[in-house]
Amino acid sequence: MSFGKRLEQTRKNFAMTQTDLAIKSKLTPAAICTYESGKRLPILKNILALQNALEGISLDWLLNGVNNTNCIKCCSVKHKLKEIIKLV
């Protein structure tokens, strides 16, 4: 799986739109779209911004797809817990 597909899958697991991720990572929605489509790869500074915005996702997962099921399941659970806590 490519970087762009991993980014898109992870973003969707967090129930975020491209605009949501752009705001949280301080990038533009166009940049997110470009990365997800595979037209360009982000520079290191932007990779770190994406990782920070997608709390709990490892660089190994974003860059190489390492531990993909553990990261995705873990982050989906963390995201759901945060949503539940907001409701309480």
Q: Give the residue numbers spanning the domain of 9.
A: 3-87
Q: What is the pLDDT of residue 55?
A: 87
pTM reported for the whole predicted model: 0.73
φ, ψ dihedrals at 32, nearest 5°: -60, -45
Q: What is the CATH number of the domain that holds 15?
A: 1.10.260.40
pLDDT, one tens digit per residue, over 75-84 is 555 555 555 5
Number of domains in the chain: 1
CA–CA dist 40, 55 (Å, integer): 23
Q: In this predicted model, what pLDDT tens digit does every residue of 14-66 receive, in sequence order? A: 999 999 999 999 999 999 999 999 999 999 999 999 999 998 788 888 888 88
